[in-house]
Amino acid sequence: MGKGGALTAAGQVAKLGYKNIQVYSEGIPGWVKAGFPLDKAIPRPEIPPLAPSQLQEKLEDAYLLDVRPEESYKQGHIKGSKNIPTDLISGRFQEIPTGKRIIIINISGTPEWVPTGWFLKSKGYNDVMMLKGGIDAWQKEGLPLAK
Amino acid sequence: MKKTISLRAYLLILVPLLLFTPAIWAADFLDISTSDLKNKLDVKGGFFLLNSESDITFSAEHIPGAVNIPVGKIRATDKLPQDKETLIVIY
């Protein structure tokens, strides 16, 4: 999580009455840069990327899963996509139909970091892809967003 | 004379304000360095390392020893230590 997220969490912990709070704003990038190990709990199967132009051709066939926060989704999303934010996926993934190709849409996105895709594969969803570059790339291509 | 005193008084108030206000804004929560965090984890105990990301992101990778409480669940969690004086490190 970025520093902003950690600060939000710190604010909430402070409200609960904890007095001794510190933020590790360097986060995982700083930890890895220093050469320290991470715990990696789940397998990381390949989640193939789709370029925005390729996705536009497949809009009808796939289940478009937008995992951005609800506020971002409301500001503009790919027509026909459904919003389940990453925070809520583990409790709501049953809403996602089986037997359909799922395409994950994030703010940006690289095929090397798709936790939602790895999670869905672990739950038996076999055909999972991701929008390469996320909504940012979609917009840069000048493709339309619905509100 | 009166003017000089009031100007001095004004500067006495204004200068420290300008100098220290940004520091006060930035000091809501102390920042811990990577090496300090590593040292604390090596010693074990005495603090609580909180990861506030989603459970899915946490299960993909996290710093060993961290406990996951997604930011939206902090208010209702029972995972935090009872002792409110415990050091909580958040990332």
Over residues A90-102, the mean pLDDT reads 95
pLDDT confidence bin for B11, thresholds 50/70/90: low
pLDDT confidence bin for A95, thresholds 50/70/90: very high
pLDDT confidence bin for A90, thresholds 50/70/90: very high
What residue type is assigned to position A21 of the chain? I
φ/ψ of A63, rounded to 5, equals -95, 115
State pLDDT tens for residues A4-16.
789 999 999 999 9
Cβ under 8 Å to B: A residues 56-85 = none
* C-alpha–C-alpha distance, residues A79 and A64, integer Å: 9
Q: Does B61 touch chain A (CB under 8 A)?
A: yes
Q: How large is the ipTM?
A: 0.84
- With tokens 């997604």, the residue in question is B70
Which residue of chain B is at minimal alpha-carbon distance from A18? B84
CB contact under 8 A, B34 and A30: yes
- Is the pLDDT reported for residue B17 higher than 70? no
Q: Does A87 touch chain B (CB under 8 A)?
A: yes
Q: Where are the domains of chain B?
A: 3-90
pLDDT of residue A122: 94
pLDDT of residue A109: 86
* C-alpha–C-alpha distance, residues B74 and B79, integer Å: 9
Q: pTM of this prediction? A: 0.79
- Which domains, and CATH codes, for chain A? 3-33 (no CATH), 49-140 (3.40.250.10)
Residues of B in contact with A30 (CB under 8 A): 34
Write the CATH number of the domain with boundaries B3-90. 3.40.250
